[in-house]
Amino acid sequence: MTNGKSVRQVNARKWRDGAARAETDRLAVEEPLEIRLGGRRFTLTMRTPGNDEELAAGFLLAEGFIDSTAELGEIRRVRDAKGAPEANAIDIVLNVPADGLRERLKRNFAVSSSCGVCGKTSIDALTRRIEPIVSTLTIAPGEVLAMPARMRAAQAVFAATGGLHAAALFDLSARAPRLLALREDVGRHNAVDKVVGWALRAGMTPLSRHAMMVSGRLSFEIVQKAAAAGIPILCAVSAPSSLAVELAEEAGITLAGFVRDGGFNVYAHPDRIAG
């Protein structure tokens, strides 16, 4: 089921069979979200409206500004001059001492500055912050192959617009993988943040008994977010980047790409794929 915040109708001239006609079309909404920390502007991201609180929480965990649910304080909508909630601005109060927050801001600025300049520097900085995942969790090849279809079936906004990425979280502690949460967004990294933020706010992290499936490709950033959430198995329908594979190897994450058409490739820690 879609909501009015994530889908918008527009006029379009559609060409079909050599002829044009005016029709309406449905598009995925893209709008900015301003995230504030304690009333101060922190960052701005382009996203599909919906689950904004989860997006902000997941982003803060992935980027190292918080380490646990306990450090995530109140998340509230910014109010305008008339006291009405702003649609595209939220404010977060962290349970982190001021000195500690300043140190984290300084540390993460250094990591962001190195990203794209020196991959090894980025990986080393991240692995100093996040312990490598040690897990005996396994998944059968057939269960990996079933994930894309299960994710696609739950993508309501994609079905309406064809214009969104998705991230799906599966619980592997039962006999068969159970789809726990799926989020959609114009940015694949935002979709991952929303899922991680959902789990963080529910007190479920680290996600040591879970696997994540994402649409599109696997970038360094996606693996970084999975590592911060403690996810041991990460899969995608498309290709990983070289830096994503390097980080997955260092972080202890099983990385599977090209999960489609009855097959897939495992690029890091293949022992968790049983059979």
Instruction: Give per-residue pLDDT as tens, 140-199.
Output: 999 999 999 999 999 888 878 888 999 999 999 988 899 999 999 999 999 999 999 999
Fold of the domain spanning 141-272:
Cytidine Deaminase; domain 2 (3.40.140)
Please state the pTM of the whole predicted model: 0.90
pLDDT tier for residue 125 given thresholds of 50, 70 and 90 = confident
Domain ranges within the chain, ordered by starting residue: 31-129, 141-272
pLDDT tier for residue 1 given thresholds of 50, 70 and 90 = very low
Q: What is the pLDDT of residue 139?
A: 97
Of 1-10, 155-164, 258-267, highest mean pLDDT: 258-267
Q: What is the pLDDT of residue 110?
A: 45
Query: Cβ atoms within 10 A of the Cβ of 217, count?
Result: 17
Residue-wise pLDDT tens digits, 227-252: 999 999 999 999 999 999 999 999 99
Q: What is the pLDDT of residue 4?
A: 67
Active-site residue among 115, 159, 160, 239? 115
pLDDT tier for residue 60 given thresholds of 50, 70 and 90 = very high
Q: What is the pLDDT of residue 107?
A: 65
22 against 115, higher pLDDT: 22
Residue-wise pLDDT tens digits, 27-58: 989 999 999 998 989 999 999 999 999 999 99
Packing angle, helices 52-62 and 220-229, rounded to 10: 90
The pLDDT > 90 percentage for the chain reads 74
Query: What CATH code is assigned to 31-129?
Result: 3.10.20.10
Q: Does 115 participate in catalysis according to the annotation?
A: yes
Domains 31-129 and 141-272 share a fold: no
Give the mean model confidence (pLDDT) for residues 78-105.
88
Q: How far apart are CA 258 and CA 273, in angstroms?
A: 15
Packing angle, helices 220-229 and 119-129, rounded to 10: 10
121 against 98, higher pLDDT: 98
